[in-house]
Structure 1
Amino acid sequence: MVDIVPLNTGDIPFADDIIRAAADSGAEVYFVGGVVRDLLMRRRIHDVDITCFGIAYSEFAGLLAEKADATYVPFKDNVRLVKGGFTIDVSKPRGETIESDLQKRDFTINNLALTLKGEIIGDPYDLEKALIRHVYTSVFDDDPLRILRAFRFVSECGFDIVPETCRLIADKADKIKNVPKERVYQEIFRFFSGSYFDKAVTLFFRKRPKDLFRKGNRTKNSAAYYLFPELVDSEDIRQNSIFHRENVLKHSLSVAKEIFKIAHGLNIAEERRFVLITAALLHDCGKKEAWLRNNRKNFIGHDELGSRVAAEIMKRLGYPNKYIKRVSFLVRQHLKLTIFAVNGVRKMKLQRFVFENMDEVEDIILLSLADNRVKKFNMKRLYNIILRIRNAQKEIDMSRAKAVSGSDLIGMGVERGPEVSILLKEVHFRLAFGYLKSMEDVKNFLKEIRGK
């Protein structure tokens, strides 16, 4: 249930400019879609959508750009005005009247309009009841991205998708594969960044939602199958019951939901939270390939394989390279602390791990915590490794390492070439942790290691 509040157009950014532009042009202008929904829900307004009648939308956008001193960016069926990081989208009407326009919107929580006087057009019933319902039967044919958007709204608002919309999503799920990857990525980012991600991801990957999706090949009646087939295909792979409670897919979802809770509790920033959730969801995506390679006996090597598979998945979904690099690295590293906890690790090896992963060690810790909390693992062992990492972080002093450069090593007789960077990294590590304390120590170490 959502508490609907009285509306005041004065709460909408740039409302005064929009009202003045409407008065000067004689246009019939309405606020539509997300801005009306968010205003009714008391949510922060990120952008404003308007449509107009009695004037070409592009002409009205030009007038408004002058009033608001905004940048005018034309697209196919709308003009985007940008000012100070805020956007106003002036869209071409989807019908001859505002009522017919609203009937071509995606979901009933969005087929609401607001007059410049603050009067609501449309029925806010589904918004009040927190329900996501499609407006018309060809809604996903017109734009298949709306399939993914339904789950994004679950993640952002905590709403429920009504059964008839779930069935329509099941019938149209395969159409999602035809959406440009750039648009898919934008929806995934918002989906994974929502306050109700745990609820949304459970519904998104649900294979057999009783009485919702049509019978038959249930696996392919899910958008998840077409976006994350490597994960969906891992549902039938059972894991060692000594360590795991769930199959590979369910474990991956549990880890993603656990990292979501951890990130929420630590108030981690949105971009980093997105990386962590993606890494958690994909951390075991290499298990099926490893399982097949190892004659269905074990998952040895799934961390390295998973790093590659994760990169392939993210490229296919339009992830930017900076996220692909970070997530694939975390997938490759996700077992490290678990192995240390089980097998033990010498002090210098753990210090070297901290030194080599200084920028990523905190995220490696969080991913390892989420991974192990949801399975049968002796957490005391992992906590001990984390405590030792904290001690190593206190011991490291990079200012000592910066005192020696590659030129210094060349001056000590190291030949120019790849050997310089290899030896410099080792020297920096030993300086940072105090194994070497002076230039004389560095010279002696080089003589010892090079045998010269």
Structure 2
Amino acid sequence: MQDSPLTAPLPAVVNELGQLFADANSELSLVGGPVRDLFLGRTSPDLDFTTDADPDRTIAITRKWADGFWEIGREFGTIGLRKGSFTIEVTTYRAEAYDPSSRKPVVAFGDSLEDDLFRRDFTINAMALRLPSMELVDPYGGVKDLHAGVLRTPGTPSSSFSDDPLRMMRAARFASQLGVEVAPEVREAMTAMAERITIISAERVRDELTKLINGSQPRRGIDLMVETGLADHVLPEVPALCLETDEHHRHKDVYQHSLTVLEQACELETDDDGAVPAPDFVLRFAALMHDVGKPGTRKFEPSGAVSFRHHDVVGAKLTAKRMKALRFDNDTIKAVARLVELHMRFYGYGEAGWTDSAVRRYVNDAGPLLERLHRLTRSDVTTRNRRKAERLAFAYDDLESRISALAEQEELASIRPDLDGERIMALLGIKPGPVVGRAYRYLLEERMEHGPHTPEEAETKLRTWWSEQPESAEGDAS
């Protein structure tokens, strides 16, 4: 134990709360991530505390001080508080025991800070500041490990991961967020126990995966998951990208390519207008998953080349299926899968150029994902052939210029037929039904192919189309 030199960066509410508990003859310590972040020069948005007081006592001490509180985590000894802009959790000392076959911990309250710290996931999170004295409590060498950039567990890794297998995902997440290396014994335990992650709920795994992908170095976290076998159970489509190659059928290492695309996508996230602010999970996850359709579509051609026809469509389906299994929300699933499906579309432009109608379709198909698609497509160039890379970059620059030029003339982001459904029915004298949909699609195709029309031009085209339809014989549209 030692005096803490970190009093200055702490918000005033920390000392206030510490004094409240001291005045009530109860212990209170700032613990875990907020303490770790102080050593990293960061301010944690959430404040976590641990105490010898039980939940009832915590509520009694803080009721008049806090702006609000909630008891959702009460069964685990946690009381949530709100004070000004701060979200605070106060948890009674714990000595948890886990049922190896259960997803949920069996909670037992403890009676000492040191025992509480021992049950935490990693030494860098097993540090505390006693309040209000600001005494640093670091019984397991968390500060030393943090400075060394090493991830270790307070006890044996096997016991820690057996207690809570989700800690293996946290190890990969911290590799991404903090750039730390896992200690050899931690890596060994992750490898031996990777299958235990399957007892953890999909929602908890999803949350850790999202934090990993949004970290500053997601490649490190994904690599750790793949190397330890954790990804085989969480994200099996990614290790499947490690395709075997031989001297007769050479092609890119798809796994390493995908990680490079992920890194390059991260670098392109934030631009001057903030169109894709960092971190952007949808762009990053699409970059990681964009080629997952390749293993299932790989074909060795007679020429010795390797093809992956329709891997974009197959990959989109695999991505959506995996994200559904991980309980992602529908909007996120649709966005990521759509980017995977569209990531090859640009290459037709690079090879032959497009008409204005093809450019319109590209914009329309991308919809609100267009800015992300721009970045994903540019990130997908990992060739070492400088001339090829420059040619592709020039082609995409040209495509973006054409999109901008057309956008000045037309509302590309929201292309609609020149006549709406109400006007179509009025002109043709028909009621709502499938025919209206057909007419609407015809006008949309005309809009895509030829650009915007005046209402008069659109009406003339619609009447001509209608005269060729079998239903027009049933009544006079004029």
**TM-score, normalised by the number of residues in structure 2:** 0.81
Identity within the alignment, %: 26
2:150 maps to which residue?
131
How many angstroms apart in 1 are the aligned matches of 2:50 and 2:8? 15
Cα pair 1:58 1:79 within 8 Å, conserved: no
Output the amino acid matched with 2:268. I
How many angstroms apart in 1 are the aligned matches of 2:265 and 2:222? 13
1:366 maps to which residue?
375
2:39 maps to which residue?
40
Query: Does 172-181 or 83-92 show the bigger shift?
Result: 83-92
Query: Does 362-371 or 19-28 show the bigger shift?
Result: 19-28
Q: 1:198 to 1:233 in 2, by over 3 A?
A: closer
Query: Does residue 169 in structure 1 map to residue 190 in structure 2?
Result: yes
Unaligned runs of 5+ in 1: 208-220
1:74 maps to which residue?
72
How many angstroms apart in 2 are the aligned matches of 1:18 and 1:260? 39
1:408 maps to which residue?
423
Q: 1:85 to 1:341 in 2, by over 3 A?
A: farther
Output the amino acid matched with 2:77. N
After superposition, residues 11-410 of structure 1 pair within 5 angstroms as 11-12=10-11, 14-53=13-52, 55-75=53-73, 76-83=75-82, 86-94=86-94, 95-116=110-131, 117-122=133-138, 123=141, 124-137=143-156, 138-205=159-226, 207=227, 221-238=228-245, 246-263=252-269, 268-270=276-278, 273-291=280-298, 298-374=307-383, 377=388, 378-379=391-392, 380-397=394-411, 404-410=419-425
Q: State the SS of the aligned residue for 2:87.
A: strand
Q: State the SS of the aligned residue for 2:269.
A: helix
Output the amino acid matched with 2:453. K
Query: CA shift at 1:304, angstroms?
Result: 1.1
How many angstroms apart in 2 are the aligned matches of 1:89 and 1:82? 6
Cα pair 1:36 1:113 within 8 Å, conserved: yes
1:50-109 C-alpha deviation (Å, 9 max, x unpaired): 1111x3134314532441122212323132415367432222312431112211111111
How many angstroms apart in 2 are the aligned matches of 1:34 and 1:400? 48
How many angstroms apart in 1 are the aligned matches of 2:465 and 2:12? 66
Q: 1:203 to 1:312 in 2, by over 3 A?
A: same
1:214 maps to which residue?
none
Q: 1:165 to 1:401 in 2, by over 3 A?
A: closer
Q: State the SS of the aligned residue for 1:11.
A: coil
How many angstroms apart in 1 are the aligned matches of 2:359 and 2:148? 53
Q: 1:369 to 1:400 in 2, by over 3 A?
A: closer
1:149-171 C-alpha deviation (Å, 9 max, x unpaired): 11211221222222222112212
2:99 maps to which residue?
none
How many angstroms apart in 1 are the aligned matches of 2:436 and 2:451? 19
How many angstroms apart in 2 are the aligned matches of 1:390 and 1:82? 49
Query: CA shift at 1:367, angstroms?
Result: 0.9
Query: CA shift at 1:280, angstroms?
Result: 0.7
Cα pair 2:179 2:217 within 8 Å, conserved: yes
Q: State the SS of the aligned residue for 2:129.
A: strand
1:210 maps to which residue?
none
Unaligned runs of 5+ in 2: 95-109, 469-478
**TM-score, normalised by the number of residues in structure 1:** 0.86
How many angstroms apart in 2 are the aligned matches of 1:283 and 1:89? 39
How many angstroms apart in 2 are the aligned matches of 1:202 and 1:77? 33
Output the amino acid matched with 1:298. S
1:309-350 C-alpha deviation (Å, 9 max, x unpaired): 001111222322221111011111111112222243222122
Output the amino acid matched with 2:88. I
Query: CA shift at 1:375, angstroms?
Result: 6.6
1:98-135 C-alpha deviation (Å, 9 max, x unpaired): 11221111111111010112110113211222221111
How many angstroms apart in 2 are the aligned matches of 1:274 and 1:13? 34
1:197-254 C-alpha deviation (Å, 9 max, x unpaired): 233333433x3xxxxxxxxxxxxx4212211112212312449999x86222222212
Query: Does 392-401 or 178-187 show the bigger shift?
Result: 392-401
How many angstroms apart in 2 are the aligned matches of 1:280 and 1:414? 49
Query: CA shift at 1:148, angstroms?
Result: 0.9
Query: Does 318-327 or 402-411 show the bigger shift?
Result: 402-411
Cα pair 1:48 1:87 within 8 Å, conserved: yes
